[in-house]
Amino acid sequence: MSLTGLEVGPGPAFLGPGRIELMERIAATGSINKAAKEMGMSYKKAWMMVQSLNRQATTPLIITQTGGEQGGGAQLSTAAQELMQAYQALRQRFEEFLRQETQNLLRNE
């Protein structure tokens, strides 16, 4: 998934630490409900986040299966996995930038 479609500016947030954590926990548990419980959030809030992510992305990020005899579940699409990797790489670059700039500021005092 290309990150060129991501926009930064006013409006609802597309991706941030909370949504990344939710996706990580969905990947680990296979369940939106279990992921929400682990995060201490309501299922409704987690479900709304999933719907928002899927609406804002160009392709579904979280694939859900309705319950029944076999039980429901959720899994991340390939696009979601790629997006998470790109997010983590960007976050690491940003943290390194902050470390370097902090060192530069301290040296110039």
Pairwise CA distance, residues 77 & 70, whole Å: 21
Q: What domains appear along the chain, each with residue ranges and CATH number?
A: 14-107 (1.10.10.10)
**Separation CA 1–CA 81 (nearest Å):** 9
| pLDDT tens readout for residues 32-79 | 999 999 999 999 999 999 999 999 998 999 999 887 667 789 999 999
**Cβ-contact 38, 25 below 8 angstroms:** yes
**How far are the Cα atoms of 14, 94, 97, 98, 99 from residue 108, in angstroms, in the given order?**
37, 21, 17, 15, 14
The pTM is what? 0.78
Q: What is the pLDDT of residue 5?
A: 43
